[in-house]
Structure 1
Amino acid sequence: KNYDKALFARLKHLRKVLAQENDVPPFVIFNDATLAEMAASKPTDKQSLLAVSGVGLTKLERYGVPFLQLINDYLERDDD
């Protein structure tokens, strides 16, 4: 499946930071397949993030906002 490798790398970094802050292993937040799907579909709001496989309501509420912010910032920069 084609996905944005640069965005995927940023999502992985964010996941690592959040994992350290929350004292959990990274896969507890989202696994690589979920991050790859985010990097492919580039969800920009909670509804589209929820459509990504591996994202449920609990994870959306707990971790969704920083991932959405990162994707939105990335897309805005990408458009320049």
Structure 2
Amino acid sequence: MTTTLSNAGELREQGNQAFKQGHFQEAIDRYTDAINILHDQQLNETIRNDLTKCHSNRSQCYINLGQYEDAVEDATR
């Protein structure tokens, strides 16, 4: 489980880097990969926090791409 969570953290960080470079679709893909990993784990507080960050970050990417319905969906999870 620790390796899985580490992988999710690495994917989130890759998403953060892609976002900073303006590569919003790539960031969405990395955040989505991390979200999928985290959804498969038991939701303790740390995982919930990571999942929330991924949804929030992905929501901002959708806003930057003008995909507002997707942004709202992520922001309200």
TM-score, normalised by the number of residues in structure 1: 0.31
1 or 2 for the larger relative contact order (CA 8 Å, sep ≥6)? 1
Give the TM-score normalised by the residue count of structure 2.
Answer: 0.32
Query: Greater helix share, 1 or 2?
Result: 2
